[in-house]
Amino acid sequence: MRDSIINICGMNMRKLLEKKSEVLVQKYGVRNVELEILLFLYHSSCGDTAKDIVEQKNLSKAHISKSVDNLRAKGFVVLIEDDNDRRKRHIELTQKAEEAAKEMLEVHNDCKRIIMRYVTEEEKAVMDRVMQKMLRSLDEELQK
């Protein structure tokens, strides 16, 4: 039962995020995955290359490459050659992309508020402790 609840919750969270971001999809003429890439680049300190996005978002290299090409063609990003490795290109956001990413961050925050609406502070504290233990288990397993 617990596994199915987790799966349903995950699917419904994705549906909620897609529903709430539909306005931005229409406004900016991009796909949801492209909005997620912009948000990743805006909000993350995990890197700024297509490889970094592939590793962090668990999406295919081809999917990210196509999305980055679309974003570049629409003026959301520019590619900057790495000073030390000409094969590596850093993805930089344009002003237009920063605006879209900020709006997408608001959508994410709105979804978090909706999801956590009925969860008490005590329950949130328990969830934090459980998630920390889960992350620890995952980290240990991935290090093997």
CA 22 from chain centre, in angstroms, equals: 15
Residues contacting 74, CB < 8 A, separation 6+: 28, 29, 30
The pLDDT assigned to 2 comes to: 64
Q: Looking at the predicted structure, is the pLDDT value of residue 55 above 90?
A: no
Domain boundaries, the chain: 2-118
pTM for this entry: 0.83
With 80 as the cut, is the pLDDT of residue 45 above it?
Answer: no
Instruction: Encode pLDDT of 13-33 as tens digits.
Output: 999 999 999 999 999 999 999
- Count of Cβ atoms closer than 10 Å to residue 38 Cβ: 30
User: Please, what is the average pLDDT of the chain?
Assistant: 91
- 2-118 folds as Arc Repressor Mutant, subunit A (1.10.10)
Give the pLDDT score at 3: 67
